[in-house]
Amino acid sequence: MSTATVTSSNPTSSALQANRMASAGDLAGRVGLSTIFLLAGLNKIQGYEGTQGYMASVGVPGELLPLVILVEVLGALLLIFGLFTRITAVALAGFSIVSALLFHADVADPMQFIMFFKNIAMAGGFLVVAAHGAGSWSIDARRKAAR
């Protein structure tokens, strides 16, 4: 008695499936990285005065808060939709590193240690997005295809 192995005779089918999975992974990664920034920016709007006070307590002018909110909210939305993805990812990587250094540098405090390296890890994720782009499920890909 013999058993036959069934394989797909259509190699483009498996390539198409792999491309869909990669595209879904790219989108999920962009959403995952961006969500914390979107929520943080919206929370800063709700707690505007408190956030300004916290910024001032670590030596950052509270007048910069509108710019911080803009970077977080607009950056998150651009990344989620995959528009200007590479430059946005680089900007958010830089923002993450600067935030780690300014607000979470007390690594002797266990919570600040975790927050510091969370920011560093996110910067790494943003740099991967910057290096590879948004993927095919993005506005950037649609704009490129339209050219």
Q: Is the pLDDT of residue 11 over 70?
A: no
pLDDT bracket for residue 5 (50, 70, 90): low
Summarised one tens digit per residue, pLDDT across range 57-105 is 999 999 999 999 999 999 999 999 999 999 999 999 999 999 999 999 9
> Is 70 exceeded by the pLDDT of residue 9?
no
**Buried b / exposed e across 72-96, counting CB within 10 Å, b at 16+?**
bbebbebbbbbebbeebbbbbbebb
Q: What pLDDT score does 13 carry?
A: 85
Nearest to 57 by CA among 10, 113, 103, 114: 103
pLDDT tens track for 133-144: 999 999 999 999
Tell me what the pLDDT averaged over the chain comes to.
93
Query: Who wins on pLDDT, 12 or 106?
Result: 106
The mean per-residue pLDDT over the stretch 1-26 comes to 75
